[in-house]
Structure 1
Amino acid sequence: MTTSGRVTRRVRLAPLDLLALGLVGLRTRKLRAVLSALGISIGIATIVVVTAIPASSQRNLMRQLSALGTDVLQVSSAPSGTGEAVALPAEAPAMVARIGPVRQVAAVANTHTSLRRSDKTEAGDGAGLTVLAGSPNLLRLVRGQVRSGRFLDSASARLPVAVLGSATATRLGIGDLGRTEPPPQIFIGSQWYTVGGILAPVALSPDLDVAAIVGWESAVTYLHFDGRPTVVYVQAYEPAVEQVRAVLPATVDPASPGQVRVSLPSDALAAKRATADTFSALFLGLAVVALLVGGVGVANTMVVSVLERRSEIGLRRALGASRGQVRSQFLTESVVLSMLGGLAGTAIGAAASAGYAAHLGWPVVIPAGATLAGLGGAAFIGVVAGVYPAAQAARLPPTQALAS
């Protein structure tokens, strides 16, 4: 375009100039800007809260379900004709440990040895109680806890030391172990064993409650144990539990896989997966509603802002501002307003979610996706809500805008 022989070039606004121009409306109408940002912040805070609080609840629920052994399988032989458990091959635990998704393997074996409170009591004193040989990692795999004393370790597993299940200790009349008193002794087979610990009830394996557990090496040395396990506990990578279960029979006993029984994955595993799917659907629905509420609020604010600032728009157009510059100004203002609300909403939502989870004793979980969705959603809302008001402001003729 030429004027008196001189060429007039359209001026392009730098990003910082455009940002400063977009902040003009926010600085001159601070109260309205605060209220508008509060509206969008409530929407974004809702996204964070409805994502973070169920995520914390879900993490807590998953932790409780995992404690039920959703990733643990039990391997045993089919009962004999007399109903007694048949021992598995001695090399079974080592073979199972070679399966890729298997994380941990522990074994127990019924030593078929008598258990009595002392050598002076009758032979039927320990009727119904079993003496099991176990590996030191058994308690960790079955999620058990020691009520008193300590469990077997690599040293005590070689010595005549026994750990009693909760029901076994009650049956034998042994209470919690004192730190200053000498530990009690029990008579297993023809050997005295020192009681090194007493277990709390084991929900995942109730058989341990009515047993006395001795070390694997100790059972071989003092009880003439043949080293063949009765039950093998397998902890596998949870998504691959079914696949591991399918190959366990042939791995444990290649000669007779049909004689090997493997427990089904617990119902807790199915509940755990169904719970995860339910929570995911809930997150999506609530987040969409919160975004729509916030977007309507920003759009309403920007439309009113254009109507109130018609004279300002006309003056800028009369001074040479192009339609694109006016459009960019209001679009930038809308995005900045939404981002301020998004930042505040994300902070408020994270703080509220963390406080609520901590109050209930849940693990605090603030999903990164929720934070990114809050900020990204705010920017998206700002663009969508500002398009129409910005286009409306750009279409105003300068004379009509100044006259209003």
Structure 2
Amino acid sequence: MGLRDLSKGATMTNKLTESILLVDDQPANLQVLMNTLESLGCKLLVAKNGKTALTIAQKMRPNLILLDIMMPGIDGFEVCRRLKSDPDTQKIPVIFLSALDDTGDKVRGLQLGAVDYVAKPFQPEEVIARVNTHLTIHRLNREVQKQKDELAHELQVVSQLQRNLLPERLPRVPGLKLAVHYETSRYAGGDYYDFMTLPGDLLGVLIADAEGHSAPAAVMMAMTCALFRSCSTDLNEPASVLSFINENLCKVNRESFVTAAYAVYDTTRRILRIACAGHPFPILYRFSEKTATELPCDNVMLMGLAPYTDVPVSEITLYPGDRILFYTDGATDRFNTSEDRYGTDRLLHKFKTAASDDPEVILKEIVDDILQFAGDSPADDDQAMIVLVVD
């Protein structure tokens, strides 16, 4: 069987768009390599020393480099080191070619970043097999990276579209100061918040959390947004709003779920009416008592699983200086490097001891405290928080 037969499969797939750089100071060795590899159908580049090899690699970005070790001037080890230290060439696979048979030299070459080692004198079948293998691996790596880049771009677009669904600006409500914090653990997430200014000096506040924190969660978040904004009646009734969103989520999905809390605040009477669907209870800070506690709301089950028969609504009167914190569990479920959970108690304490009645400052103190607690441990869930302060 000849060399052309051995490389027949590779000839069908490797085109002249792929190039191989051959580096050797001996013309006879270069000729043998060229004769061996010409049937692969790749473009063959030639360098007779390390300096030329580095220049060609930088300009031509070959798909593979066959690199001799023992060369005058810059030897193969140094060429490989420089290739791997340059971001433009570090991903080019390098196969060392050498008559050296010392294990230490082979190890040194692999430690410098080479992917393989072929000993001289060359065995044509071995050279072709190794070149084919590493060209294939390199090609697959490029394809995977291209797909990753395309996916990252798509997720960035999704992330921006998702953020466009959030309120462009906070409503201005007499007697009430508002602030929000929103961040996703990845490009797109499932947390959502919204406001609705209603007749009769009422303000609707919605916070929701779709299961997960990836593209499917972002879709559920977008559906929740669309349903909330299309709910044209009874927006002043928390039970009706959650029932409407849940009923329509159930029509299109029963595999994922959404937690939510919807509250309606009467700015004239300072009365907050709230309904919760599997969502963390809002936190109330009483200015007169200097205490922070969870609001005792009756929860119904998560939205998107089954229609509700009844949604209980809790009512509470607020006074000047009181604060309300709505949040998703990404805040309390943040872990540190010791796998300790930030938890509700820490959140209660930080909300209680905030040094200002400015909601922006309060949120910053909470976020800073969570970050300090987490240390180097990255967030694995989205976070949304809303602070209301009664004037």
Under a length normalisation based on structure 2, what TM-score does the superposition of the two structures give? 0.25
Higher relative contact order (CA 8 A, sep 6+): 1
Please tell me whether Structure 1 or Structure 2 has the larger radius of gyration of its CA atoms.
Answer: 1
* Structure with more of its chain in strand, by fraction: 2
Structure with greater helix share of residues: 1
TM-score by length of 1: 0.24
